[in-house]
Amino acid sequence: MRVLALFSAKGGVGKTALAVNLAHAAATISGRRTLLVDLDPQGAATWLLQVEPRGGAKARKRLGGGELDDLIQATAYPNLDVLPADRSLRRLEADLAGQDSEKWLKRALKPLEERYDRVILDCPPGLTELADQMFRAADLILVPVVPSPLSTRALAQLQAHLAEEMKNPPPLMPVFSLADRRKSLHKAAMAAQPGWPMIPYASAIEAMAASRRPILAGPGSPAARAVSGLWADVERRLAG
| Domains of the chain listed by start with CATH number | 2-239 (3.40.50.300)
Kindly report the average pLDDT of the chain as a whole number.
Answer: 88
Average pLDDT of span 17-34: 96
Residue 202's SS3 state is coil
At 19, phi and psi to the nearest 5? -60, -45
Type of residue found at 165: E
Whether residue 26 contacts residue 235, with contact meaning beta carbons closer than 8 Å, is answered with yes
Write down the pLDDT at residue 219: 78
Give the residue-averaged pLDDT of 62-88.
83
pLDDT of residue 150: 79
Examine the pLDDT at 41 and tell me if it is beyond 90.
Answer: no
* Percent of the chain's residues with pLDDT above 70: 90
Tell me the average pLDDT across 227-231: 96
Q: Read off the pLDDT of residues 140-192 as tens digits, 9 standing for 90 and up.
A: 999 999 998 877 888 888 999 999 989 899 999 999 999 998 999 999 999 99
Is the pLDDT at 203 greater than 80? The verdict is yes
pLDDT digits (tens, 9 = 90+) for 111-143: 999 999 999 999 888 888 888 889 999 999 999
Say whether pLDDT at 2 is over 60. yes
d(CA 26, CA 2): 11
Lowest mean per-residue pLDDT among 117-121, 169-173, 218-222, 229-233: 218-222
Q: Show Cβ contacts of residue 91 under 8 Å, excluding neighbours closer than 6 positions.
A: 60
Torsion angle of C-alpha atoms 173, 194, 207, 12, degrees rounded to 10 = 60
Check whether 197 has a pLDDT greater than 60.
yes
Are the C-beta atoms of 127 and 158 separated by less than 8 Å?
yes
Provide the pLDDT for residue 104.
81
Q: Which amino acid is at 141?
A: I
Cβ–Cβ under 8 Å, residues 2 and 118 = yes
Half-sphere exposure of 206 (CA within 13 A, CB side): 5
Please tell me the predicted confidence (pLDDT) of residue 153: 84
What pLDDT, on a 0 to 100 scale, did the predictor assign at position 61? 63
Global pTM?
Answer: 0.92
* Helix H or strand E encompassing 118: strand 118-122
Per-residue model confidence (pLDDT) at position 215: 93
What does DSSP assign to residue 217? Answer: G
CB 173 within 8 A of CB 237: yes
- What CA–CA distances, in Å, run from 148 to 25, 69, 173, 213? 27, 41, 17, 28
* Distance separating alpha carbons of residues 170 and 141, to the nearest angstrom: 7
Of 14-18, 66-70, 175-179, 212-216, which gets the smallest average pLDDT? 66-70
Q: C-alpha 48: how far from its chain's center?
A: 13
Residue 101 C-alpha from the chain's centroid: 23
Tell me which of 59 and 48 has the higher pLDDT: 48
Question: In this model, does residue 94 exceed pLDDT 80?
Answer: no
pLDDT, position 4: 98
- What's the burial of 223, exposed, middle or buried (CB within 10 Å: 0-12/13-18/19+)? buried
